[in-house]
Amino acid sequence: MTTETDQTEEKLSAERLERLNANMARIDELTKRMVAAMGRRKQSDPGLQGPGQDMYVKAAAAYMAEMMSNPAKMIEQQVGYWGKSLKHYAEAQQQLANGKLSPPEDTGPSDPRFKNELWDSNPYFNFIKQQYLHSSEAITQAMDDLPQLEGADKSRVSFFARQITDMLSPTNFLATNPDALTKAVETDGESLVRGLENLVHDIEHNEGDLLVSLADEKAFKVGENIAATEGSVVYRNRMFELIQYKPSTDKVKETPLIIFPPWINKFYIMDLKPKNSLIKWIVDQGYTLFIVSWVNPDETYRDVGIDDYVDDGYLTAINEVKKITKQDQVNAVGYCIAGTTLSMVLSLMEKRGDTSIKSATLFTTLTDFEDAGEMSVFLDDDFVDGIERQVAERGYLHSYFMSRTFSYLRANDLIYAPAIRNYMMGEAPPAFDLLYWNGDSTNLAGRFVVDYLRQLCQQNQFAKGTMEILGETVSLDTVQTPLCAVACETDHIAAWKGSFNGVKQMGSEDKTFIVSQSGHVAGIINPPSKKKYGHYTNPKISGEPDAWMDAADFNEGSWWPRWEKWLESRSGGEIKARKPGIKSHPVLEKAPGTYVLPKEAAE
């Protein structure tokens, strides 16, 4: 005769078996979808998948040379590594011999990847963690201590060695991740099935390639809850849509302001939530604001190069703003790559005697690529040759490759942590507007991306004064426009020191340089209301970057008000606020326009 308890256990067992069978059916269906999605993957050039063999040969040769010339040093490194490993193993064995099911005391540095208490309290997980950290330290030290490698070669070897150690972290594998294992047990494997669903979704979304979703794509809609500052498209050509924003003040400054965002990403990084929107803040300060929304290139833009972006982009946009506002001059802003190109436009205009730009502001902009920061590891011929072959075949560089490249600069934060959350924990990506924008990247026109990488990044032609734009040779020293440059202290894309060195060489007598705390995006999108990141100022723009920083003043809070005060003094008097569009430039549609939308939405 069964008891009530037996019946309850049988019922629970039956329910678990039913869930298991349902999950197995879902896994079978998802596996078929994943195979089908991966079958749609287009082949890409091998040069885009990793560094060329030359780097490995150089690293191996340098290691062998060091081993032959300084064997004592190499033996010392090996002994140090094995000594740490054996010491930890012996300590763990001693704990067990004493009847303690606990690891030895962990005195190593904290690592955000190992937050779960089991990494410190459980002997199994603690041993795996410690062995991984010892191994990573040994590999990193071995690569850093190769005197035969110098400069770019050493930076590349160290960077890709770090990529390998980051990839091999035990947190990235189910069998050695206590968080994922615990959740799998607690959910009877449901978390793993949801994780597989997330994985299949990402592979399908990227046409067979894998790019981890960073944000909930359903949580945001461009033009509704992001990129929602009120405005209108007042001009459009094959390169861009020109948006004019509706004024929020009765009076505005006489001189209009136009922003050129980077065409690697979309302009609404400056117009996320209203409280973080630089665009809304500028409008609220009483400026007639225009912004360029670049087209997302496809194969028909194969032959579009830097000249086209300058002529059909910058020069055209500036002239249209002048017509709409009936002004002879504009103030201009360029962000990242758009700041680089704006700087070349300033030089071009100086050569032509064109005074259309009254003042210029550069956000996180490199103009001298002698020191390209962390991005330099991707600027050698092995990668650039691969890109050149890829765009020769397709006509453009797919956004996937740029997104992946930038993600690897912060792999733990932008690849592995999101992958663990999405695929191993089975959690949905967060509803985070900044990460949504980060995943909404754009393609690059074929000729442009090759010319930019060859002429600017590799050959540094602008800084050397050999760059040709629309038949004119442009250079840093011919930039005479009043200038304000804002760099970011921890920028991994446009290092602040490189930005400083470029601005230092510009010919303008009126130059302001500001370094904001934080990185490429957070340092720029830093509204005063947050009271979060401060900034550094020093009026003397000369000498070495470190000396400039040592003598700089630290200022609490956002740099936005300081910049606005600088801009106001170059924006003329106040006039009645301008409504978007005029008779010759009627409103075409509401902001944010169509170029910023995903292709399926635009169609």
Residues whose CB falls within 8 Å of the CB of residue 405, separated by 6 or more in sequence, listed in order: 378
Of 347, 397, 387, 353, which Cα lies nearest the Cα of 367? 347
How far apart CA 569 and CA 571 sit, in angstroms, is: 6
336 a catalytic residue: yes
| Residue 343 and residue 367 in contact, taking contact as beta carbons nearer than 8 Å | yes
Residues whose CB falls within 8 Å of the CB of residue 270, separated by 6 or more in sequence, listed in order: 259, 261, 277, 278, 279, 291, 335, 525
Tokens of 238: 């094959």
Dihedral through CA 444, CA 445, CA 449, CA 452, nearest 10? -110
How far apart CA 477 and CA 460 sit, in angstroms, is: 14
C-alpha distance across the termini of the chain, in Å: 68
- Tokens 């136009």 sit at which residue? 258
How far apart CA 241 and CA 261 sit, in angstroms, is: 12
Torsion sign, CA atoms 315, 317, 318, 323: positive
Residue in 336, 457, 484, 488 annotated catalytic:
336
Residues whose CB falls within 8 Å of the CB of residue 343, separated by 6 or more in sequence, listed in order: 334, 360, 362, 365, 367, 462, 476, 479, 502, 506
Strand segments (E) across 437-564: 444-445, 467-469, 472-474, 483-488, 511-516, 535-537, 553-555
How far apart CA 253 and CA 51 sit, in angstroms, is: 51
Pairing of strands 257-260, 289-294: parallel
How far apart CA 515 and CA 537 sit, in angstroms, is: 7
Dihedral through CA 186, CA 192, CA 198, CA 204, nearest 10? -170
Of 568, 561, 566, 510, which Cα lies nearest the Cα of 535? 561
- HSE of 468 in the Cβ direction (CA atoms, 13 Å)? 2
Catalytic residues: 336
